[in-house]
């Protein structure tokens, strides 16, 4: 598939607006677990002025493994008239249910649907009347259709889109960047996870190229082993975010390996162990009894530990903690002595997890202005 590549979620929102205006379907392809489904609900819906509430203005249909009758409705014979009627299929924005309310219809993983099911969707893409249809059922006239799917190079058994379908679409390949994902993860509250810090520091290979641990190419041929992708890294962050249970080392290691594979998992777990082992040194630095290390990896690990500690100590009133000077040690002994990129990351991460260092007297020094 020689499609244009998009790496910015906001840009996808703009493309959605353009597709709505010109009347084409929006198709997004890419690796599994890279957030296509989430983007349809949280980016495309708002870009079109919708709330993205499932069942109200956002409808998701995944007919993988479904029979045609599940999609178009089950046939019900009328013995008197000898006519066949079809029950209303669920999950579709039927006109009989929502009228012509504007909505987004996501046809999730459509290339993996059975060909007989895909053929039923032709009346969606090329309706005879003013409204798209599924079987004998009309949909809202203001239905915006988004199609997502994986490619064969993504380890999928998907079919190649037909020419009549492609000529009714505006098609893209979605490839999220590590930086964009980190911003998204911070907004979701994952910045306190050592997995987040691992990706922030180790998400690139030794040549500065993205994808070594974050979202590498799918092995060819596909071997069925766990593989790193944004979805699995989010799951790892959920396990290790501030306030998570104190998992046993063996269980956590195996669980991470089971999500992202052994290579990425072992590297991530080793980093988590490094972070944990830095805590005694951090206590000495906080007390002024030890110097700040020169090693970049140690600086990252210690900064991460310091941010977690300040977040925990500040409790429910981080503004008071900053005003009282109780976080001065973080500023004076951790962030300011650190390398510029670590200082910048530490300042931004502090803000993202609710530590208002932009109110600290030395905020200008922290921002490098």
Report whether 318 contacts 357 (CB < 8 A): no
From its phi and psi, is residue 291 left (phi > 0), alpha (psi between -120 and 50) or beta?
beta
**pLDDT of res. 209:** 44
CATH 3.40.50.300 maps onto the chain at: 4-174
Q: Which residues contact 82 (CB under 8 A, 6 or more apart)?
A: none
- Which residue is associated with the tokens 């956002």? 58
- Is it the case that residue 259 has pLDDT exceeding 50? yes
**pLDDT of res. 211:** 47
CATH no., domain 4-174: 3.40.50.300
CA distance 347 to 341: 10
For 133-177, how does the pLDDT look when each residue is reduced to its tens digit (9 = 90+)? Answer: 888 889 999 999 999 999 888 888 888 888 888 999 999 999 988
Length of the chain: 369
Sheet holding 103-107, edge to edge: 4-6, 169-174, 25-29, 143-149, 103-107, 58-61
| pLDDT category of residue 235 using cuts at 50, 70 and 90 | very high
**pLDDT of res. 162:** 86
Report whether 155 contacts 204 (CB < 8 A): no
**pLDDT of res. 207:** 37
**pLDDT of res. 75:** 66
- Is it the case that residue 22 has pLDDT exceeding 80? yes
For 280-299, how does the pLDDT look when each residue is reduced to its tens digit (9 = 90+)? Answer: 888 899 999 999 999 888 88
- Is it the case that residue 205 has pLDDT exceeding 50? no
| pLDDT category of residue 72 using cuts at 50, 70 and 90 | confident
How much helix, strand and coil, in percent to the nearest 5, is found in the chain? Answer: 50, 15, 40
């Amino acid at each position: 598939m020689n499609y244009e590549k998009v790496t910015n979620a906001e840009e996808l929102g703009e493309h959605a607006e353009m597709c709505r205006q010109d009347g084409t379907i929006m198709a997004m392809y890419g690796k599994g677990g890279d957030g296509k489904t989430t983007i349809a609900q949280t980016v495309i819906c708002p870009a079109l002025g919708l709330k993205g509430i499932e069942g109200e203005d956002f409808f998701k249909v995944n007919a993988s493994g479904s029979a045609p009758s599940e999609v178009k409705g089950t046939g019900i014979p009328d013995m008197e008239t000898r006519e066949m009627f079809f029950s209303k299929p669920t999950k579709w924005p039927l006109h009989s249910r929502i009228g012509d309310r504007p909505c987004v219809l996501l046809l999730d993983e459509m290339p993996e649907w059975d060909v007989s099911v895909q053929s039923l969707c032709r009346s969606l893409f090329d309706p005879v009347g003013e409204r798209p249809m599924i079987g004998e059922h009309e949909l809202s006239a203001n239905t915006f259709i988004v199609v997502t799917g994986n490619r064969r190079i993504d380890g999928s058994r998907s079919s190649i889109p037909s020419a009549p379908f492609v000529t009714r679409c505006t098609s893209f390949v979605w490839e999220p960047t590590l930086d964009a994902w980190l911003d998204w993860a911070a907004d979701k509250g994952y910045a306190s996870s050592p997995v987040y810090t691992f990706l922030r520091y180790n998400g690139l290979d030794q040549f500065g190229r993205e994808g070594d641990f974050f979202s590498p190419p799918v092995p060819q041929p596909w071997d069925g082993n766990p593989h790193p992708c944004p979805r699995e890294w989010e799951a790892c962050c959920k396990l290790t975010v501030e306030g998570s249970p104190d998992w046993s080392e063996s269980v956590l290691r195996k669980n991470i390996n089971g999500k992202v594979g052994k290579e990425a998992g072992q590297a991530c777990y080793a980093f988590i162990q490094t972070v944990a082992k830095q805590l005694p040194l951090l206590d000495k630095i906080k007390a002024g009894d030890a110097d700040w290390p020169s090693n970049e990896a140690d600086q990252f690990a210690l900064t991460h530990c310091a941010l977690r500690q300040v977040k925990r100590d500040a409790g429910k009133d981080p503004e008071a903690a900053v005003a009282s000077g109780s976080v001065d040690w973080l500023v004076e002994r951790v962030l300011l002595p650190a390398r510029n990129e670590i200082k910048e990351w530490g300042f931004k991460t502090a803000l993202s997890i609710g530590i208002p260092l932009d109110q600290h007297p030395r905020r200008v020094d922290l921002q490098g202005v």
